[in-house]
A and B are shown apart, each in its own frame.
Chain A
Amino acid sequence: MKTHVIVGASLAGATAAITLREEGAGAITMIGGEPEPPYERPPLSKAYLRGEVTFDSALVRPSAFYAEHDIKTMLGVRAARIDTAERFVELEDRRRVPYDTLLIATGGRNRRLSIPGADLSGIYGLRTVRDADRIREAIVAGRRAVVVGMGFIGSEVTASLRAKGLEVTAIDPGKTPLFRVFGQEVGRSFADLHRAHGVHTLFEDAVAAFEGDGHVACVVTRGGLRLECDFVVAGVGIEPAVDIADGSGIGLDNGVVVDEFLETTINGVFAAGDVANHYHPLFRRHIRLEHWQNAVRQGAAAARSMLGQRTAYEEIPWFWSDQYETNVQYVGFHTTWDELVVRGRLDSGSYLACYVKDGRIDAAVALNRGRDIRRIIPLIRSRAIVDIARLTDEHVDLRSLEAGNHRAAITQEGS
Protein backbone atom coordinates (compact mmCIF):
# COMPACT_ATOMS: atom_id res chain seq x y z
CA MET A 1 0.00 0.00 0.00
CA LYS A 2 1.38 3.35 -1.02
CA THR A 3 1.72 6.21 1.44
CA HIS A 4 0.72 9.67 0.26
CA VAL A 5 1.93 12.58 2.36
CA ILE A 6 0.63 16.12 2.07
CA VAL A 7 2.54 19.00 3.62
CA GLY A 8 0.13 21.85 4.23
CA ALA A 9 -3.32 21.34 5.77
CA SER A 10 -4.58 24.03 3.45
CA LEU A 11 -7.49 24.22 1.02
CA ALA A 12 -5.23 22.72 -1.66
CA GLY A 13 -3.87 20.09 0.74
CA ALA A 14 -7.28 19.12 2.12
CA THR A 15 -8.81 18.93 -1.36
CA ALA A 16 -5.96 16.66 -2.40
CA ALA A 17 -6.50 14.44 0.65
CA ILE A 18 -10.24 14.21 0.00
CA THR A 19 -9.65 13.44 -3.68
CA LEU A 20 -7.04 10.78 -2.86
CA ARG A 21 -9.51 9.11 -0.53
CA GLU A 22 -12.33 9.29 -3.10
CA GLU A 23 -10.01 7.75 -5.69
CA GLY A 24 -9.21 4.83 -3.41
CA ALA A 25 -5.66 5.75 -2.40
CA GLY A 26 -3.78 3.86 0.32
CA ALA A 27 -2.45 5.64 3.40
CA ILE A 28 -2.90 9.42 3.49
CA THR A 29 -1.18 11.75 5.96
CA MET A 30 -1.68 15.51 6.03
CA ILE A 31 0.73 17.70 8.00
CA GLY A 32 -0.25 21.27 8.88
CA GLY A 33 1.54 24.06 10.74
CA GLU A 34 -1.68 25.67 11.91
CA PRO A 35 -3.54 23.92 14.76
CA GLU A 36 -6.96 24.24 13.07
CA PRO A 37 -8.37 21.70 10.62
CA PRO A 38 -8.12 22.91 7.00
CA TYR A 39 -10.25 25.97 6.30
CA GLU A 40 -11.06 28.33 3.46
CA ARG A 41 -9.48 31.76 3.66
CA PRO A 42 -11.86 33.93 1.58
CA PRO A 43 -14.21 34.65 4.52
CA LEU A 44 -11.29 35.90 6.66
CA SER A 45 -11.27 39.31 4.97
CA LYS A 46 -15.03 39.45 4.57
CA ALA A 47 -17.91 37.76 6.43
CA TYR A 48 -15.71 36.21 9.14
CA LEU A 49 -13.83 39.45 9.73
CA ARG A 50 -17.14 41.26 10.14
CA GLY A 51 -18.31 38.62 12.63
CA GLU A 52 -21.17 37.46 10.40
CA VAL A 53 -20.21 33.78 10.16
CA THR A 54 -18.59 31.26 12.48
CA PHE A 55 -15.19 29.72 11.91
CA ASP A 56 -16.85 26.30 11.51
CA SER A 57 -18.60 27.54 8.37
CA ALA A 58 -15.17 28.16 6.82
CA LEU A 59 -13.93 24.60 7.42
CA VAL A 60 -13.24 22.62 4.25
CA ARG A 61 -14.85 19.64 5.99
CA PRO A 62 -16.12 19.20 9.56
CA SER A 63 -13.17 18.46 11.83
CA ALA A 64 -14.24 14.82 12.39
CA PHE A 65 -14.26 14.13 8.64
CA TYR A 66 -10.58 13.28 8.29
CA ALA A 67 -10.47 10.57 10.96
CA GLU A 68 -13.77 9.18 9.71
CA HIS A 69 -12.25 8.85 6.25
CA ASP A 70 -8.96 7.37 7.37
CA ILE A 71 -6.96 10.50 6.61
CA LYS A 72 -4.28 10.94 9.25
CA THR A 73 -3.79 14.56 10.25
CA MET A 74 -0.81 16.02 12.08
CA LEU A 75 -1.85 19.57 12.93
CA GLY A 76 0.03 22.31 14.72
CA VAL A 77 3.31 20.78 13.67
CA ARG A 78 5.56 22.19 10.99
CA ALA A 79 7.45 20.18 8.46
CA ALA A 80 11.09 21.25 8.42
CA ARG A 81 12.63 19.56 5.41
CA ILE A 82 12.22 16.98 2.71
CA ASP A 83 14.69 14.23 1.95
CA THR A 84 13.91 13.31 -1.64
CA ALA A 85 16.54 10.55 -1.80
CA GLU A 86 15.29 8.65 1.26
CA ARG A 87 11.72 9.85 0.68
CA PHE A 88 10.72 11.25 4.03
CA VAL A 89 9.55 14.54 5.49
CA GLU A 90 11.27 15.64 8.68
CA LEU A 91 9.18 17.58 11.16
CA GLU A 92 10.40 20.38 13.41
CA ASP A 93 10.49 17.93 16.30
CA ARG A 94 12.76 15.64 14.22
CA ARG A 95 10.11 13.01 13.65
CA ARG A 96 10.25 11.50 10.17
CA VAL A 97 7.24 10.78 7.98
CA PRO A 98 8.06 8.48 5.06
CA TYR A 99 6.23 8.88 1.76
CA ASP A 100 5.83 7.23 -1.63
CA THR A 101 4.33 10.36 -3.15
CA LEU A 102 4.46 13.83 -1.62
CA LEU A 103 2.40 16.96 -2.17
CA ILE A 104 3.71 20.38 -1.17
CA ALA A 105 0.72 22.61 -0.42
CA THR A 106 2.36 24.99 2.02
CA GLY A 107 0.81 28.14 0.56
CA GLY A 108 2.44 31.44 1.35
CA ARG A 109 3.30 33.75 4.15
CA ASN A 110 2.76 37.46 4.41
CA ARG A 111 5.44 39.84 3.32
CA ARG A 112 6.48 42.11 6.12
CA LEU A 113 7.18 45.79 5.93
CA SER A 114 10.78 46.44 6.88
CA ILE A 115 10.43 50.06 7.93
CA PRO A 116 10.88 51.83 11.27
CA GLY A 117 8.19 50.95 13.77
CA ALA A 118 7.05 47.79 11.98
CA ASP A 119 7.37 45.83 15.23
CA LEU A 120 4.90 48.03 17.15
CA SER A 121 1.74 46.31 18.33
CA GLY A 122 -1.48 47.06 16.49
CA ILE A 123 0.01 46.36 13.05
CA TYR A 124 -1.70 43.32 11.61
CA GLY A 125 -1.23 41.13 8.58
CA LEU A 126 -4.00 38.83 7.40
CA ARG A 127 -3.40 35.26 6.35
CA THR A 128 -4.61 32.94 9.08
CA VAL A 129 -7.75 32.76 11.21
CA ARG A 130 -5.61 33.89 14.14
CA ASP A 131 -4.66 37.00 12.20
CA ALA A 132 -8.35 37.60 11.47
CA ASP A 133 -9.20 37.15 15.17
CA ARG A 134 -6.62 39.77 16.15
CA ILE A 135 -8.11 42.25 13.69
CA ARG A 136 -11.62 41.41 14.88
CA GLU A 137 -10.61 42.35 18.41
CA ALA A 138 -9.42 45.73 17.13
CA ILE A 139 -12.64 46.39 15.20
CA VAL A 140 -14.69 48.91 17.14
CA ALA A 141 -17.00 51.37 15.39
CA GLY A 142 -15.52 54.85 15.27
CA ARG A 143 -11.90 53.71 15.49
CA ARG A 144 -9.42 54.90 12.88
CA ALA A 145 -7.64 52.28 10.81
CA VAL A 146 -4.98 52.62 8.16
CA VAL A 147 -4.89 49.93 5.49
CA VAL A 148 -1.50 49.59 3.83
CA GLY A 149 -1.65 48.06 0.36
CA MET A 150 -4.75 48.08 -1.82
CA GLY A 151 -4.49 44.69 -3.47
CA PHE A 152 -7.34 42.25 -2.94
CA ILE A 153 -6.76 41.69 0.77
CA GLY A 154 -6.38 45.40 1.49
CA SER A 155 -9.42 46.27 -0.61
CA GLU A 156 -11.63 43.66 1.05
CA VAL A 157 -10.45 44.55 4.55
CA THR A 158 -11.10 48.21 3.80
CA ALA A 159 -14.67 47.39 2.74
CA SER A 160 -15.22 45.24 5.85
CA LEU A 161 -13.87 47.91 8.18
CA ARG A 162 -16.15 50.54 6.63
CA ALA A 163 -19.09 48.16 7.02
CA LYS A 164 -18.26 47.98 10.73
CA GLY A 165 -18.26 51.77 11.05
CA LEU A 166 -14.54 52.47 11.25
CA GLU A 167 -12.76 55.45 9.72
CA VAL A 168 -10.39 54.06 7.11
CA THR A 169 -7.46 55.58 5.29
CA ALA A 170 -6.12 53.34 2.52
CA ILE A 171 -2.65 53.88 1.13
CA ASP A 172 -0.98 52.31 -1.88
CA PRO A 173 2.01 53.19 -4.06
CA GLY A 174 0.01 52.50 -7.23
CA LYS A 175 -2.14 55.07 -9.01
CA THR A 176 -5.30 53.16 -7.99
CA PRO A 177 -6.29 50.06 -6.00
CA LEU A 178 -5.28 46.86 -7.83
CA PHE A 179 -3.30 48.99 -10.25
CA ARG A 180 -0.65 46.39 -10.94
CA VAL A 181 -3.19 43.75 -12.01
CA PHE A 182 -5.92 45.80 -13.64
CA GLY A 183 -4.27 49.01 -14.83
CA GLN A 184 -5.45 52.57 -14.40
CA GLU A 185 -8.83 52.58 -16.15
CA VAL A 186 -10.28 49.62 -14.28
CA GLY A 187 -8.36 50.57 -11.15
CA ARG A 188 -10.02 53.97 -11.12
CA SER A 189 -13.44 52.35 -10.82
CA PHE A 190 -12.21 50.65 -7.64
CA ALA A 191 -10.87 53.93 -6.29
CA ASP A 192 -14.30 55.47 -6.96
CA LEU A 193 -15.98 52.54 -5.20
CA HIS A 194 -13.93 53.03 -2.03
CA ARG A 195 -14.33 56.80 -2.05
CA ALA A 196 -18.10 56.43 -2.52
CA HIS A 197 -18.04 54.41 0.69
CA GLY A 198 -16.23 57.09 2.63
CA VAL A 199 -12.68 55.76 2.49
CA HIS A 200 -9.86 58.30 2.57
CA THR A 201 -7.67 57.10 -0.27
CA LEU A 202 -4.03 57.93 -0.66
CA PHE A 203 -2.41 56.71 -3.85
CA GLU A 204 1.12 57.10 -5.20
CA ASP A 205 2.37 57.31 -1.64
CA ALA A 206 3.82 54.71 0.69
CA VAL A 207 4.41 54.15 4.36
CA ALA A 208 7.78 55.43 5.57
CA ALA A 209 7.43 54.64 9.27
CA PHE A 210 5.05 53.72 12.06
CA GLU A 211 5.17 55.71 15.28
CA GLY A 212 3.76 55.03 18.72
CA ASP A 213 4.62 54.21 22.28
CA GLY A 214 4.52 50.42 22.10
CA HIS A 215 1.29 50.51 20.09
CA VAL A 216 1.02 52.14 16.68
CA ALA A 217 -0.52 55.60 16.87
CA CYS A 218 0.60 57.25 13.66
CA VAL A 219 1.54 56.27 10.13
CA VAL A 220 4.09 58.52 8.47
CA THR A 221 4.09 58.50 4.69
CA ARG A 222 6.94 59.14 2.27
CA GLY A 223 4.94 62.11 1.05
CA GLY A 224 5.23 63.56 4.57
CA LEU A 225 1.68 62.96 5.77
CA ARG A 226 1.01 61.87 9.32
CA LEU A 227 -2.04 59.64 9.72
CA GLU A 228 -3.24 59.24 13.30
CA CYS A 229 -4.72 55.80 13.83
CA ASP A 230 -5.76 53.12 16.30
CA PHE A 231 -4.43 50.21 14.27
CA VAL A 232 -2.99 49.23 10.90
CA VAL A 233 -3.73 46.33 8.56
CA ALA A 234 -0.98 45.62 6.04
CA GLY A 235 -1.86 43.69 2.90
CA VAL A 236 1.38 43.84 0.97
CA GLY A 237 1.34 40.41 -0.63
CA ILE A 238 2.69 36.99 0.17
CA GLU A 239 5.78 35.00 -0.57
CA PRO A 240 5.44 31.33 -1.44
CA ALA A 241 6.36 29.19 1.57
CA VAL A 242 9.19 27.19 0.02
CA ASP A 243 11.65 26.82 2.90
CA ILE A 244 10.65 23.18 3.39
CA ALA A 245 12.11 22.49 -0.05
CA ASP A 246 15.39 24.33 0.53
CA GLY A 247 18.29 21.99 -0.12
CA SER A 248 15.98 19.17 -1.24
CA GLY A 249 16.92 19.42 -4.90
CA ILE A 250 13.34 20.38 -5.80
CA GLY A 251 13.40 23.17 -8.40
CA LEU A 252 12.38 26.53 -6.98
CA ASP A 253 11.61 29.71 -8.88
CA ASN A 254 8.83 31.99 -7.69
CA GLY A 255 7.55 29.05 -5.64
CA VAL A 256 7.86 25.35 -6.33
CA VAL A 257 8.21 24.81 -10.07
CA VAL A 258 5.80 22.18 -11.40
CA ASP A 259 5.00 20.91 -14.87
CA GLU A 260 1.53 20.70 -16.42
CA PHE A 261 0.83 17.62 -14.27
CA LEU A 262 1.77 19.52 -11.09
CA GLU A 263 4.87 17.37 -10.59
CA THR A 264 8.05 19.04 -9.38
CA THR A 265 11.50 18.47 -10.85
CA ILE A 266 11.75 15.48 -8.49
CA ASN A 267 9.82 12.37 -9.44
CA GLY A 268 6.95 11.61 -7.06
CA VAL A 269 6.91 15.07 -5.49
CA PHE A 270 4.06 17.39 -6.45
CA ALA A 271 2.92 20.90 -5.54
CA ALA A 272 -0.44 22.70 -5.66
CA GLY A 273 -2.03 25.96 -4.63
CA ASP A 274 -0.39 29.30 -3.77
CA VAL A 275 3.07 27.74 -3.57
CA ALA A 276 3.03 26.09 -7.01
CA ASN A 277 4.49 27.82 -10.05
CA HIS A 278 2.67 25.76 -12.64
CA TYR A 279 3.32 25.38 -16.36
CA HIS A 280 -0.02 26.26 -17.95
CA PRO A 281 -0.41 24.55 -21.35
CA LEU A 282 -2.93 27.10 -22.63
CA PHE A 283 -0.92 30.21 -21.74
CA ARG A 284 2.36 28.37 -22.43
CA ARG A 285 4.15 29.73 -19.42
CA HIS A 286 4.53 29.19 -15.71
CA ILE A 287 1.86 30.86 -13.61
CA ARG A 288 1.64 31.04 -9.83
CA LEU A 289 -1.79 31.98 -8.50
CA GLU A 290 -2.98 32.85 -5.03
CA HIS A 291 -6.67 32.13 -5.33
CA TRP A 292 -9.37 29.83 -4.03
CA GLN A 293 -10.25 28.10 -7.30
CA ASN A 294 -6.60 27.39 -8.00
CA ALA A 295 -6.20 25.75 -4.59
CA VAL A 296 -9.31 23.60 -5.01
CA ARG A 297 -8.74 22.51 -8.58
CA GLN A 298 -4.98 22.05 -8.39
CA GLY A 299 -5.35 20.13 -5.13
CA ALA A 300 -7.71 17.69 -6.83
CA ALA A 301 -5.60 17.47 -9.99
CA ALA A 302 -2.37 16.90 -8.05
CA ALA A 303 -4.03 14.06 -6.15
CA ARG A 304 -4.87 12.36 -9.44
CA SER A 305 -1.33 12.86 -10.67
CA MET A 306 -0.05 11.31 -7.44
CA LEU A 307 -2.10 8.22 -8.32
CA GLY A 308 -0.62 8.08 -11.79
CA GLN A 309 -3.69 9.47 -13.57
CA ARG A 310 -1.70 12.00 -15.53
CA THR A 311 -4.00 14.66 -16.91
CA ALA A 312 -2.59 18.10 -17.67
CA TYR A 313 -4.05 20.81 -15.43
CA GLU A 314 -5.35 23.54 -17.73
CA GLU A 315 -8.14 25.24 -15.85
CA ILE A 316 -8.67 28.86 -16.80
CA PRO A 317 -7.69 30.93 -13.76
CA TRP A 318 -10.69 32.53 -12.08
CA PHE A 319 -11.24 34.42 -8.87
CA TRP A 320 -13.73 36.62 -7.15
CA SER A 321 -13.64 39.43 -4.66
CA ASP A 322 -16.59 40.94 -2.79
CA GLN A 323 -16.22 44.57 -1.75
CA TYR A 324 -19.19 46.40 -0.22
CA GLU A 325 -22.18 45.24 -2.32
CA THR A 326 -20.00 44.79 -5.38
CA ASN A 327 -19.13 41.36 -6.76
CA VAL A 328 -15.85 41.37 -8.67
CA GLN A 329 -14.76 38.46 -10.85
CA TYR A 330 -11.72 37.91 -13.00
CA VAL A 331 -11.04 35.13 -15.44
CA GLY A 332 -8.06 34.29 -17.64
CA PHE A 333 -4.49 35.44 -17.32
CA HIS A 334 -2.86 38.62 -18.53
CA THR A 335 0.23 40.65 -17.82
CA THR A 336 0.21 43.23 -20.61
CA TRP A 337 -2.48 44.15 -23.11
CA ASP A 338 -2.95 46.11 -26.34
CA GLU A 339 -6.49 47.18 -25.74
CA LEU A 340 -8.99 47.26 -22.91
CA VAL A 341 -12.38 46.44 -24.42
CA VAL A 342 -15.30 47.35 -22.19
CA ARG A 343 -18.84 46.02 -22.33
CA GLY A 344 -20.93 48.46 -20.34
CA ARG A 345 -19.38 51.52 -18.75
CA LEU A 346 -16.45 51.63 -16.34
CA ASP A 347 -18.17 54.35 -14.29
CA SER A 348 -21.50 52.52 -14.04
CA GLY A 349 -20.70 49.93 -11.37
CA SER A 350 -21.52 47.13 -13.84
CA TYR A 351 -19.15 46.23 -16.62
CA LEU A 352 -17.06 43.55 -18.27
CA ALA A 353 -13.57 44.75 -19.22
CA CYS A 354 -11.52 42.49 -21.48
CA TYR A 355 -7.74 42.55 -21.72
CA VAL A 356 -7.12 41.99 -25.42
CA LYS A 357 -3.73 41.23 -26.92
CA ASP A 358 -3.02 40.32 -30.54
CA GLY A 359 -6.79 40.29 -31.12
CA ARG A 360 -7.46 37.65 -28.47
CA ILE A 361 -9.02 37.99 -25.03
CA ASP A 362 -6.41 36.95 -22.48
CA ALA A 363 -8.49 37.87 -19.46
CA ALA A 364 -11.53 39.78 -18.30
CA VAL A 365 -12.66 41.48 -15.13
CA ALA A 366 -16.26 42.19 -14.29
CA LEU A 367 -18.08 44.24 -11.71
CA ASN A 368 -21.50 42.81 -10.85
CA ARG A 369 -21.55 40.77 -14.07
CA GLY A 370 -20.89 37.21 -13.09
CA ARG A 371 -22.94 35.95 -15.97
CA ASP A 372 -20.74 37.74 -18.51
CA ILE A 373 -17.66 36.29 -16.84
CA ARG A 374 -19.02 32.74 -17.16
CA ARG A 375 -19.84 33.34 -20.80
CA ILE A 376 -16.46 34.80 -21.71
CA ILE A 377 -14.57 31.70 -20.53
CA PRO A 378 -15.05 29.70 -23.78
CA LEU A 379 -13.77 32.71 -25.75
CA ILE A 380 -10.63 32.89 -23.65
CA ARG A 381 -10.11 29.16 -23.90
CA SER A 382 -10.61 29.10 -27.67
CA ARG A 383 -7.85 31.72 -28.20
CA ALA A 384 -9.98 32.93 -31.13
CA ILE A 385 -9.66 36.41 -32.64
CA VAL A 386 -12.51 38.34 -31.06
CA ASP A 387 -15.06 40.50 -32.88
CA ILE A 388 -14.73 43.66 -30.81
CA ALA A 389 -17.84 45.36 -32.19
CA ARG A 390 -19.98 42.42 -31.12
CA LEU A 391 -18.14 42.03 -27.81
CA THR A 392 -19.06 45.59 -26.83
CA ASP A 393 -22.64 45.36 -28.15
CA GLU A 394 -24.83 44.73 -25.12
CA HIS A 395 -27.53 43.25 -27.36
CA VAL A 396 -25.22 40.44 -28.46
CA ASP A 397 -25.29 37.32 -26.31
CA LEU A 398 -21.66 36.60 -25.42
CA ARG A 399 -22.29 32.90 -26.00
CA SER A 400 -22.82 33.61 -29.69
CA LEU A 401 -19.36 35.16 -30.10
CA GLU A 402 -17.46 31.92 -29.92
CA ALA A 403 -19.61 30.26 -32.57
CA GLY A 404 -19.26 33.37 -34.75
CA ASN A 405 -15.52 33.21 -34.46
CA HIS A 406 -15.43 29.60 -35.50
CA ARG A 407 -17.42 30.44 -38.60
CA ALA A 408 -15.09 33.34 -39.36
CA ALA A 409 -12.08 31.09 -38.94
CA ILE A 410 -13.53 28.45 -41.26
CA THR A 411 -14.39 31.07 -43.87
CA GLN A 412 -10.87 32.42 -43.76
CA GLU A 413 -9.38 28.99 -44.21
CA GLY A 414 -11.74 28.25 -47.08
CA SER A 415 -10.99 31.46 -48.96
Chain B
Amino acid sequence: MTAEFLPTGIAAAAVPPGGLVVADVRGTKVAIANVGGTYYAFDDTCTHQQCSLADGDLAETTVTCMCHGAEFDVRTGEVLAPPAPSPVRVYRVRVEAGALQIEIG
Protein backbone atom coordinates (compact mmCIF):
# COMPACT_ATOMS: atom_id res chain seq x y z
CA MET B 1 0.00 0.00 0.00
CA THR B 2 1.44 3.38 -0.93
CA ALA B 3 1.57 6.18 1.58
CA GLU B 4 -1.03 8.86 1.21
CA PHE B 5 -2.18 11.90 3.11
CA LEU B 6 -5.45 11.24 4.89
CA PRO B 7 -7.79 13.66 6.61
CA THR B 8 -7.77 13.67 10.40
CA GLY B 9 -11.04 15.53 10.77
CA ILE B 10 -9.23 18.13 12.86
CA ALA B 11 -8.89 21.78 11.93
CA ALA B 12 -5.38 23.18 12.24
CA ALA B 13 -6.80 26.10 14.21
CA ALA B 14 -8.14 23.63 16.80
CA VAL B 15 -4.57 22.84 17.89
CA PRO B 16 -2.96 25.96 19.34
CA PRO B 17 0.81 26.22 19.85
CA GLY B 18 1.77 23.93 22.73
CA GLY B 19 -1.39 21.91 22.14
CA LEU B 20 -1.88 18.19 21.62
CA VAL B 21 -4.82 16.36 20.08
CA VAL B 22 -5.55 12.79 19.15
CA ALA B 23 -7.00 11.73 15.81
CA ASP B 24 -8.28 8.35 14.70
CA VAL B 25 -7.04 7.79 11.19
CA ARG B 26 -8.11 4.48 9.64
CA GLY B 27 -8.06 2.86 13.07
CA THR B 28 -4.66 4.28 14.02
CA LYS B 29 -4.62 6.63 16.99
CA VAL B 30 -2.33 9.47 16.06
CA ALA B 31 -1.32 12.36 18.31
CA ILE B 32 -0.69 15.74 16.71
CA ALA B 33 1.40 18.39 18.46
CA ASN B 34 1.74 22.04 17.59
CA VAL B 35 5.25 23.28 18.33
CA GLY B 36 5.41 27.00 17.63
CA GLY B 37 3.19 26.71 14.57
CA THR B 38 4.70 23.51 13.19
CA TYR B 39 2.64 20.34 13.44
CA TYR B 40 4.11 16.95 14.31
CA ALA B 41 2.23 13.65 14.26
CA PHE B 42 3.17 10.44 16.05
CA ASP B 43 1.57 7.30 17.44
CA ASP B 44 -0.63 8.30 20.34
CA THR B 45 0.01 5.06 22.21
CA CYS B 46 2.98 5.11 24.58
CA THR B 47 5.23 2.11 23.98
CA HIS B 48 5.48 1.49 27.73
CA GLN B 49 1.94 0.86 29.00
CA GLN B 50 -0.24 2.04 26.14
CA CYS B 51 -1.35 5.33 27.70
CA SER B 52 -2.43 8.13 25.37
CA LEU B 53 0.41 10.57 24.71
CA ALA B 54 -2.08 13.27 23.69
CA ASP B 55 -3.23 13.19 27.33
CA GLY B 56 0.31 14.13 28.33
CA ASP B 57 2.14 17.44 28.35
CA LEU B 58 4.05 19.10 25.54
CA ALA B 59 7.08 21.27 26.28
CA GLU B 60 8.75 22.51 23.11
CA THR B 61 9.44 19.31 21.13
CA THR B 62 9.14 16.89 24.08
CA VAL B 63 5.95 15.07 24.95
CA THR B 64 5.72 13.51 28.42
CA CYS B 65 3.43 10.55 29.03
CA MET B 66 1.18 11.32 31.97
CA CYS B 67 1.06 7.75 33.26
CA HIS B 68 4.72 6.96 33.94
CA GLY B 69 6.73 9.94 32.73
CA ALA B 70 8.28 8.55 29.54
CA GLU B 71 9.42 11.30 27.18
CA PHE B 72 9.54 11.31 23.39
CA ASP B 73 10.84 13.76 20.78
CA VAL B 74 7.75 14.61 18.75
CA ARG B 75 9.89 15.30 15.65
CA THR B 76 11.53 11.87 15.50
CA GLY B 77 9.58 9.66 17.91
CA GLU B 78 12.84 8.97 19.74
CA VAL B 79 12.71 8.04 23.44
CA LEU B 80 14.21 10.85 25.53
CA ALA B 81 13.43 9.38 28.95
CA PRO B 82 12.42 5.92 30.16
CA PRO B 83 10.46 3.82 31.02
CA ALA B 84 9.38 3.64 27.37
CA PRO B 85 11.36 0.80 25.77
CA SER B 86 11.06 1.86 22.13
CA PRO B 87 10.29 4.90 19.96
CA VAL B 88 6.89 5.88 18.64
CA ARG B 89 6.27 6.03 14.92
CA VAL B 90 6.09 9.50 13.39
CA TYR B 91 4.02 10.68 10.43
CA ARG B 92 4.27 13.58 8.03
CA VAL B 93 1.66 16.27 8.52
CA ARG B 94 0.26 18.84 6.13
CA VAL B 95 -2.45 21.46 6.36
CA GLU B 96 -4.93 21.27 3.51
CA ALA B 97 -7.67 23.92 3.37
CA GLY B 98 -7.19 24.61 7.09
CA ALA B 99 -7.47 20.94 8.05
CA LEU B 100 -4.75 18.61 9.33
CA GLN B 101 -3.81 15.63 7.21
CA ILE B 102 -1.27 12.95 8.01
CA GLU B 103 0.57 10.58 5.76
CA ILE B 104 -0.10 6.95 6.53
CA GLY B 105 1.26 4.11 4.45
Contacts and interface: CB of A to CB of B under 8 A. Distances in A.
Interface string B59-90: 00000111111000000000000110100000
Interface residues of B, number: 14
B82 A375 contact: no
B56 interface: yes
A292 B57 contact: no
Interface string A287-305: 0000011001000000000
A350 interface: no
A370 B66 contact: yes
Contacts of B51: 327, 370
Nearest to B57: A374
A83 B65 CA distance: 44
B45 to A, nearest CB: 15
B57 A296 contact: no
Contact of A296 (B49, B55, B56, B82): B82
A292 B48 CA distance: 14
A327 B83 contact: no
A375 B57 contact: yes
Interface residues of A, number: 16
Nearest to A366: B66
B69 A318 contact: yes
Tell me if A's interface is mostly helix, strand, loop or mixed.
Answer: helix
A320 B85 contact: no
B83 A370 contact: no
Contacts of A293: 69
A374 B68 CA distance: 10
Contacts of B85: 57
B68 A320 contact: yes
A40 B83 contact: yes
A293 B83 CA distance: 9
A371 interface: yes
B66 to A, nearest CB: 3
A322 interface: yes
B67 A370 contact: yes
Contacts of B68: 320, 370
Contacts of B55: 370-371
Contact of B67 (A57, A292, A320): A320
A40 B49 CA distance: 14
A296 B69 CA distance: 13
Contacts of A318: 69
Contacts of B66: 370-371, 373-374
Nearest to B59: A374
A373 B64 CA distance: 12
B83 A322 contact: no
A327 B65 CA distance: 12
Interface in B12-38: none
Contacts of B69: 293, 318, 320, 374
A373 B85 CA distance: 22
Contacts of B57: 371, 374-375
A79 to B, nearest CB: 26
Contacts of B82: 296
Nearest to A322: B49
Contact of B83 (A292, A371, A373, A374): A292
Contacts of A296: 82
A374 B67 contact: no
Interface in A268-295: 292-293
A322 to B, nearest CB: 7
Contacts of A57: 85
Contacts of B49: 47, 322
Interface string A369-385: 01101110000000000
A296 B66 CA distance: 18
The 8 closest A-B CB pairs, nearest first, are A370-B66, A371-B66, A327-B67, A320-B68, A374-B57, A370-B67, A374-B64, A371-B57
8 contacts: A40-B83, A327-B51, A327-B67, A370-B51, A370-B56, A370-B68, A371-B56, A374-B56
